[in-house]
């Protein structure tokens, strides 16, 4: 049994996921569109291919996504493809939450880098002071 995908409902779902109101989509589609016309479009089960592509471009999604999106399949996949699911065949996979570096070593490296920067800054200030002293001596 082939399941029919309601293209108008898919347009509504994508529009809502993108946070676009019907008025906003109508504005994107042109002057001869308004909120009521978008509402009627979203009620249509099948939408003409040219119009579907125009709406897809306005939503910035592929037209195939609107044609093929099946909410039930998406929900089934979400429900059954998480860790611990009985249908998830890779449920023996374990996440490695251990860092691959020692945070204390990183902290010590940052302190050493800060010390080097401070020493360079201090040296630059000493050089400035020496130049100022030389300028004062020349002015006397």
For 112-134, the pLDDT digits (tens) are 999 999 999 999 999 999 999 99
Lowest mean pLDDT: which of 2-11, 51-60, 85-94, 125-134? 85-94
* Global pTM exceeds 0.75: no
Question: What is the pLDDT averaged over residues 5-16?
Answer: 91
In this prediction, residues 45-63 reach a mean pLDDT of 93
Task: Report d(CA 87, CA 64) in Å as an integer.
Answer: 28
Sign (positive or negative) of CA dihedral 61, 66, 67, 69: positive
What pLDDT sits at residue 52? 94
Instruction: Look at 14-18, 68-72, 97-101 and tell me which has the smallest mean pLDDT.
Output: 97-101
Report helix angle 7-17 to 49-59, nearest 10.
Answer: 10
Contacts of residues 91-95 at CB distance under 8 Å and 24 or more positions apart, as own/partner, are: none
The pLDDT value recorded for residue 97 is: 57
> What is the Cα–Cα distance from 21 to 113, expressed in whole angstroms?
51
Q: How confident is the model at residue 1 (pLDDT cuts 50, 70, 90)?
A: low
Contact 10, 43 (CB under 8 A): no
In sign, the C-alpha dihedral spanning 22, 26, 27, 28 is positive
Burial of 41 (0-12, 13-18, 19+ CB in 10 A): buried
């Amino acid at each position: 049994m082939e399941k029919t995908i309601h293209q108008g409902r898919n347009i509504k779902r994508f529009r809502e996921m993108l946070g676009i109101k019907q008025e906003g989509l109508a504005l994107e589609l042109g002057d001869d569109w308004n909120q009521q016309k978008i509402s009627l479009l979203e009620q249509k089960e099948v939408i003409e291919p040219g119009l579907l592509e125009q709406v897809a471009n306005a939503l910035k999604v592929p037209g195939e996504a609107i044609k093929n999106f099946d909410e039930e399949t998406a929900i089934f996949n979400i429900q059954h493809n998480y860790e611990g699911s009985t249908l998830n065949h890779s449920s023996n996979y374990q996440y490695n939450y251990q860092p691959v570096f020692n945070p204390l070593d990183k902290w010590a490296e940052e302190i050493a880098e800060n010390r080097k920067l401070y020493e360079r800054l201090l040296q630059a200030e000493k050089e400035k002071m020496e130049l100022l002293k030389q300028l004062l001596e020349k002015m006397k």
